[in-house]
Amino acid sequence: MAFSLSTVSSPKIFLPSDGFLRSPSQTRLRPFFARPVPGPKTWFSSKPISISTGFHRRQPVKMAAATGSKQLTVFETEEELAVSLAKYTAEISDKFTRERGAFTVVLSGGSLIKALRKLTEAPYLESVEWSKWHVFWVDERVVKLDHPDSNYKLALDGFLSKVPIPPNQIYAINDTLPPEGAAEDYEARLKQLVWDRVIKVVPTSGLPRFDLMLLGMGPDGHVASLFPGHPLLKETQKWVTHITDSPKPPPERITFTFPVINASAYVAMVVTGSGKAGAVHKALSGGENTGYTDRLPVEMVELEQGEFTWFTDKAAVSMLNEKDTGL
Ligand code: 6PG
Kindly report, residue by residue over 99-116, the tens digit of the pLDDT.
999 999 999 999 999 999
Rounded Cα distance, 75 and 89, in Å: 17
Q: Find out whether the peptide bond into 123 is cis, omega within 30 degrees of 0.
A: yes
**Per-residue exposure over 91-123, b if at least 16 CB sit within 10 Å of its own CB, e if not:** ebbbbbbeeeebbbbbbbbbebbebbebbbeee
Q: Judge if the beta carbon of residue 297 lies within 6 A of ligand 1.
A: no
pLDDT at 183: 98
Tens digits of residue pLDDT in 174-233? 999 999 999 999 999 999 999 999 999 999 999 999 999 999 999 999 999 999 999 999
Q: Judge if the beta carbon of residue 108 lies within 6 A of ligand 1.
A: yes
Kindly give the distance from the C-alpha atom of residue 163 to the centroid of ligand 1, in angstroms, as a whole number: 22
DSSP state of 170: B
Report which ligand 1 atom has the smallest distance to the Cα of 137.
9
Q: Judge if the beta carbon of residue 69 lies within 6 A of ligand 1.
A: no
**In degrees to the nearest 10, what's the CA dihedral of 169, 171, 172, 177?**
130
The ranges of the chain with pLDDT < 50 are 1-65, 326-327
Q: Judge if the beta carbon of residue 312 lies within 6 A of ligand 1.
A: no
Task: Quickly count: other Cβ atoms within 10 Å of residue 139's Cβ.
Answer: 25
pTM above 0.85, yes or no: no
Quick check: 271 and 278 in contact, CB under 8 A? Answer: no
Kindly give the distance from the C-alpha atom of residue 117 to the centroid of ligand 1, in angstroms, as a whole number: 17
DSSP string of 205-266, one letter each residue: T--EE-SEEEEE--TTS-BTTB-TT-GGGG--S-SEEEES--SSSSS-EEEE-HHHHTT-SE
pLDDT at 67: 63
pLDDT at 108: 98
pLDDT at 19: 26
Quick check: 102 and 96 in contact, CB under 8 A? Answer: yes
Q: Judge if the beta carbon of residue 151 lies within 6 A of ligand 1.
A: yes
Task: Quickly count: other Cβ atoms within 10 Å of residue 322's Cβ.
Answer: 10
Quick check: 255 and 139 in contact, CB under 8 A? Answer: yes
Q: Whose CA is nearest to atom 7 of ligand 1?
A: 109
Kindly give the distance from the C-alpha atom of residue 111 to the centroid of ligand 1, in angstroms, as a whole number: 7
- Pairing type for strands 200-201 and 208-209 reads antiparallel
Q: Find out whether the peptide bond into 16 is cis, omega within 30 degrees of 0.
A: no
Kindly give the distance from the C-alpha atom of residue 218 to the centroid of ligand 1, in angstroms, as a whole number: 6
